[in-house]
A = this chain, B = another copy of it.
Amino acid sequence: MNTSKKILIVEDDPNISKLVEYNLQKSGFKTTSVDSGEKAIAMLQKDKFHLAILDIMLPGMDGLEICKKIKNNKKLSDMKILILTAKGEEVDKVLGFELGVDDYVVKPFSPRELVLRVKAILRRNETVKDLILCDGIKIDVKNHDVFVDNKKTELTAMEFKLLVTLVENKGNVQTRDYLLEEVWSSSSDITTRTIDTHIKRLRQKIGKYGKKIETVRSLGYRYID
């Protein structure tokens, strides 16, 4: 169907990981599986994956810890995460979602369901470019680098996502609601004023191009085409 995506499975029960691998491969995904958090981190540094399927219950570093590490790592934070959780671990679920997890599946699960969820997650943003050029701004999406008039500019994670969202939709107004969902994880509840603050700082940091981020009163913001 499409360029096959790479999926990392972190699961200590070999029966489950084999089942999952088999079904994902049947659907055309490339899979790798490891049985501990430590190995997962090591693997993630070696190779790039589009999605990680994390078991919550793991010996040593558990799924949530891995998740945190991933989300806090600039180079990994755009990787998708699907959590596997045993019935009754609802607290974990909640925690998981707040960490920016994309979906979760409760064990025991049907392989078909898992595959569908994986497809759904990966479909969400398929058109991710690696390099975005816009006016004098160059964005290296993969490496989270931003250059303004060829001068490297340090942006924080939020500022980066915000800029990418604005620039990718150049010319179109992004409503606050949309930005909240796209830039901040949908499950967080944030004062919409937070957006304004970030816009302000982003404008500052991109210098003269700050003027190209336009306020559309009562609607949202847009990067002028």
List A residues at the B interface (Cβ < 8 Å): 1, 87, 90-91, 93-94, 97, 106, 109-110, 112-113, 116, 119-120, 123, 142-144, 156-157, 171-173, 175, 177-178, 181, 186-187, 189, 216-219, 222
Question: Which B residues are CB-close (under 8 A) to A113?
Answer: 90, 93-94, 186-187
Closest to A156 in B: B217
A178 to B175, CA, bound (A): 28
Sort A-B residue pairs by CB-CB distance and give the 3 closest, nearest first.
A90-B110, A157-B218, A90-B113
Q: Chain B's nearest CB lies how many Å from the CB of A139? A: 14
A113 to B106, CA, bound (A): 13
Q: Given A90-B109, A187-B113: A181 and B217 within 8 A (CB)?
A: no
- B120 near A181: Cβ-Cβ < 8 Å: yes
- B178 near A123: Cβ-Cβ < 8 Å: yes
Q: Chain B's nearest CB lies how many Å from the CB of A3? A: 13
Question: Which B residues are CB-close (under 8 A) to A120?
Answer: 181, 186
Question: Which B residues are CB-close (under 8 A) to A112?
Answer: 90, 94, 187, 189
- B116 near A186: Cβ-Cβ < 8 Å: yes
| Partner among B90, B97, B144, B171 whose Cβ is within 8 Å of the Cβ of A219 | B144
Question: Which B residues are CB-close (under 8 A) to A116?
Answer: 93-94, 97, 181, 186-187
Question: Which B residues are CB-close (under 8 A) to A157?
Answer: 217-219
Question: Which B residues are CB-close (under 8 A) to A123?
Answer: 178
Q: Chain B's nearest CB lies how many Å from the CB of A219? A: 6
Question: Which B residues are CB-close (under 8 A) to A94?
Answer: 110, 112-113, 116
Closest to A177 in B: B119
Q: Given A93-B116, A120-B181: A173 and B110 within 8 A (CB)?
A: no
Closest to A98 in B: B116
Closest to A180 in B: B116
A74 to B222, CA, bound (A): 36
Question: Which B residues are CB-close (under 8 A) to A97?
Answer: 116
Q: Given A112-B94, A144-B173, A177-B119: A218 and B1 within 8 A (CB)?
A: yes
Q: Chain B's nearest CB lies how many Å from the CB of A120? A: 6
